[in-house]
Amino acid sequence: MTRPLVLHPDRLFSSDPIQRGIARTLYTEIADAPIISPHGHTDPAWFAEDQPWDDAASLLLAPDHYVFRMLYSQGLSLDALGIRTRAGAPDTDPRSAWRLFAEHYKLFRGTPSRLWLDHVFAEIFGFDMALEAATADHYFDRIGEALATPAFRPRALFDRFRIEVLATTEGAHDSLEAHHRIRASGWNGRVISTYRPDGVIDVEHEAFKPALARLAQLTGEDVYGWRGYLAAHRKRRADFRAAGATATDHGHATAQTANLSPTEAEALFARIVGGDWTPTDAELFRAQMLTEMARMSLEDGMVMQIHPGSFRNHNAGLFASHGRDKGADIPMRTSYVDTLKPMLDVVGNAPELTIILFTLDESTYARELAPLAGHYPCLKLGPAWWFHDSPEGMRRFREMTTETAGFYNTVGFNDDTRAFLSIPARHDVARRVDCAFLARLVAEHRLAEWEAVDLAHELTTGLVRKAYKL
Q: Whole-number minimum distance, CB 264 to a copy of itself, in Å?
A: 19
DSSP state of 13: S
Q: Whole-number minimum distance, CB 388 to a copy of itself, in Å?
A: 7
**CB-nearer residue toward a copy of itself: 378 or 470:** 378
User: How far apart are the C-alpha atoms of 178 and 257, rounded to whole Å?
Assistant: 33
**CB-nearer residue toward a copy of itself: 54 or 392:** 392
User: How far apart are the C-alpha atoms of 65 and 445, rounded to whole Å?
Assistant: 41
**CB-nearer residue toward a copy of itself: 244 or 327:** 327
Are the CB atoms for 190 and 244 separated by under 8 Å?
yes
Q: Is 244 left (phi over 0), alpha (psi -120 to 50) or beta?
A: left
**187 - beta bridge partners?**
none
Q: How far are the Cα atoms of 66, 102, 241, 432 from residue 123, in angstroms, in the given order?
A: 20, 18, 35, 16
Q: How far are the Cα atoms of 195, 321, 336, 384, 465 from residue 62, in angstroms, in the given order?
A: 26, 16, 35, 25, 33
Q: Whole-number minimum distance, CB 347 to a copy of itself, in Å?
A: 10
User: How far apart are the C-alpha atoms of 207 and 279, rounded to whole Å?
Assistant: 16
Q: Whole-number minimum distance, CB 12 to a copy of itself, in Å?
A: 6
Q: Tell me, what amino acid is at 160?
A: R
Q: Whole-number minimum distance, CB 362 to a copy of itself, in Å?
A: 6
**CB-nearer residue toward a copy of itself: 245 or 400:** 400
CB contact set of 212 (below 8 Å; sequence gap of 6+): 173, 200, 223, 224, 273
**CB-nearer residue toward a copy of itself: 89 or 311:** 311
Task: Give SS3 for 284.
Answer: helix
Radius of gyration of the chain (CA): 23
User: How far apart are the C-alpha atoms of 115 and 108, rounded to whole Å?
Assistant: 9
**CB-nearer residue toward a copy of itself: 238 or 253:** 253
- Report the side by side order of strands in the sheet with 163-167: 35-37, 163-167, 191-192
Q: Whole-number minimum distance, CB 301 to a copy of itself, in Å?
A: 15
Q: Whole-number minimum distance, CB 97 to a copy of itself, in Å?
A: 18
**CB-nearer residue toward a copy of itself: 228 or 331:** 331
**CB-nearer residue toward a copy of itself: 189 or 251:** 251
Q: Whole-number minimum distance, CB 48 to a copy of itself, in Å?
A: 33
